Amino acid sequence: MNSSFNFYIPTNIVFGPGRIKELASMELPGEKALIVTTAGKSVIKFGYLDMVKDALKEHGIDSVVYNKILPNPILDHVMEGAQVARDNNCDFIIGLGGGSPIDSAKSIAIMVNNPGNYWDYIHGGTGKGQPVTEPVLPLVAIPTTAGTGTESDPWTVITNMETQEKIGFGLVPQTFPVISIVDPELMVSIPPHLTAYQGMDAFFHAAEGYLANISQPASDHFALGSIELINKYLPRAVKDGSDMEARTALAWASTQSGLVESTSSCISQHSMEHALSAFDPSVTHGAGLIMLSIPYFTFMAEKVPARFPAMAKAMGVDVDALPENERPMAFISALKDLIKNIGCDDLNINDFKLDKSQCEALAENAMTAMGFLFSLDPYEMSKEECVAIFEKVFEG
């Protein structure tokens, strides 16, 4: 844990069941909104899109919908969405849905006023790392899933399909949402398998942020709190999606894990998963993290065991009753149990369009496209060690 740090979260988080109703009366950061949402049907089927449009209309605010966002959002849609915003003179963006539309909304907000291609501003991989010089449009986030925590952090992850790079980016404070309405009632429609994947994404944000070499008191508190909540409530939400107590706990755990992202950071597990889903976009982010997790955290627990007992304790393990040398691996056992309890222990990377022969290329991609996260690891991982972790994932 670092004793010198910054803590700055400029987002107004409006949290609780039913609070989406307040959209019609709260002060919003513009007069015409581009609503960025998914290409799927859920936001229409369950009435979420109409709910937002009607609230804006009641507020006297016009809106335009851009609804092409994919589960792994892509560069082309960022550029197209920004053009739609320009063509319709939108002065703020609303991200409605899971992490993909909210991340895309952040990236679109950057590109409405800034010239060139979004990849010109990306740091890492083939990005040009140019400075963002023009104003970023303000953003309102309305998550309908509990997983990414993007409603409480400035980060956005976009895939460049041409280069097979999936890279995170963000600006402080510009890409923090101005307002995030986190209403667990919008999350009851998530099917069990996606509930599991999204919940584990939040879990790994917390675990990675706790291990990161830039962790600090606030991030530690948020991280252990999220780990505890997800371990307790995710199996309940997977079993019964209408369990409002579980949904509310997970909604807060996700938002809290976003606060971990804002005060600490993910580490190389996320870089490695981004490589998997860049090579095969059908790999859902949370599923990819789950498949990586046991080999990855086993490796880290062997190399740098000190912080693992606290995470095991947050998962309900009586670590004080264990021999000291067994305490770090107690986290791995608890993680295996959690994965089993949410029905994800049969996930197999070999069922996707990926092959063990790609392990070196996957490691190269992870360490190039999002190599910065490796610098935040508690242990300096070599490329050979990264390849070996990928190989263990394929070996099961």
Render 167-222 in DSSP notation, one character per residue: EEEE-TTTTS-SEEEE-GGGGTTS-HHHHHHHHHHHHHHHHHHHHSTT--HHHHHH
Domain count, the chain: 2
- Please tell me whether residues 71 and 102 are part of one structural domain: yes
Beta strands in the chain (DSSP E): 12-15, 32-38, 62-69, 92-97, 139-143, 155-160, 165-170, 179-182
Asked if 24 and 138 sit in the same domain, the reply is yes
At 5 the pLDDT is: 87
Mapping DSSP to helix (H, G, I), strand (E, B) and coil, where does residue 73 land? coil
The pLDDT assigned to 234 comes to: 98
Same domain? 83 vs 167: yes
| Domain coverage including residue 64 | 12-187
Q: Greatest CA separation found in the chain?
A: 65
The pTM score is: 0.96
CATH code, domain carrying 113 = 3.40.50.1970
What value does the mean pLDDT take over residues 327-340? 98
> Among 187, 210, 227, which residue terminates a domain?
187
Asked whether residue 4 is assigned to any structural domain, the reply reads no
In a domain, 3, yes or no: no
Q: Which of 187, 215, 243 is the last residue of a domain?
A: 187
Helix 217-239 with 192-211: angle, nearest 10 deg: 160
pLDDT at 274: 97
Beta bridge partners of 66: 36
Residues with Cβ within 8 Å of residue 340, at least 6 apart in sequence: none
* Domain termination residue (choose one: 187, 206, 238): 187
Mean pLDDT score, 331-344 = 98
Give the three-class secondary structure for 268.
helix
pLDDT, tens only, 14-64: 999 999 999 999 999 999 999 999 988 899 999 999 999 999 999 999 999
At residue 39, the pLDDT reads: 85
Clarify whether residues 173 and 198 are in a common domain.
Answer: no
How many percent of the chain have pLDDT more than 70?
A: 100
In single-letter form, the type of residue at position 127 comes to G
Q: Phi/psi zone of residue 4: left (φ > 0), alpha (ψ -120 to 50 degrees), beta?
A: beta
Q: Which domain CATH number covers 364?
A: 1.20.1090.10
Count of residues in the chain: 396
pLDDT, the chain, mean: 97
| Structure confidence by residue, pLDDT tens digits, 120-153 | 999 999 999 999 999 999 999 999 999 999 999 9
pLDDT tens for each residue of 165-210: 999 999 999 999 999 999 999 999 999 999 999 999 999 999 999 9
Residues 140, 246 within the same domain: no
For residue 6, what pLDDT is reported?
Answer: 86
Give the pLDDT of residue 2: 82
C-alpha–C-alpha distance, residues 379 and 63, integer Å: 48
**Same structural domain for residues 45 and 92?**
yes
Is-cis flag, bond preceding 173, omega within 30?
yes
- Using the predicted structure, report yes or no on whether residue 358 has a pLDDT greater than 80: yes
CB 256 within 8 A of CB 222: yes
pLDDT at 202: 98
User: Is the same domain home to 179 and 261?
Assistant: no
- Report the C-alpha gap between 362 and 279 in whole angstroms: 8
pLDDT at 40: 84
- CA 304, 306, 308, 309 torsion-angle sign: positive
Contacts 24+ apart (CB under 8 A), 22-28: 22/181, 23/52, 23/55, 23/56, 23/59, 23/142, 23/181, 24/54, 24/55, 24/56, 24/58, 24/59, 25/59, 26/179, 28/56, 28/59, 28/61, 28/92, 28/140, 28/179
pLDDT digits (tens, 9 = 90+) for 263-322: 999 999 999 999 999 999 999 999 999 999 999 999 999 999 999 999 999 999 999 999
Residue 330: the pLDDT is 98
Give residue 346's pLDDT: 96
Q: Which amino acid is at 30?
A: G
Question: What is the spatial distance between Cα 321 and Cα 294, in angstroms, rounded to a whole number?
Answer: 23
Helix (H) or strand (E) holding 276: helix 268-279
Asked whether the CA dihedral 190, 147, 394, 302 is positive or negative, the reply is negative
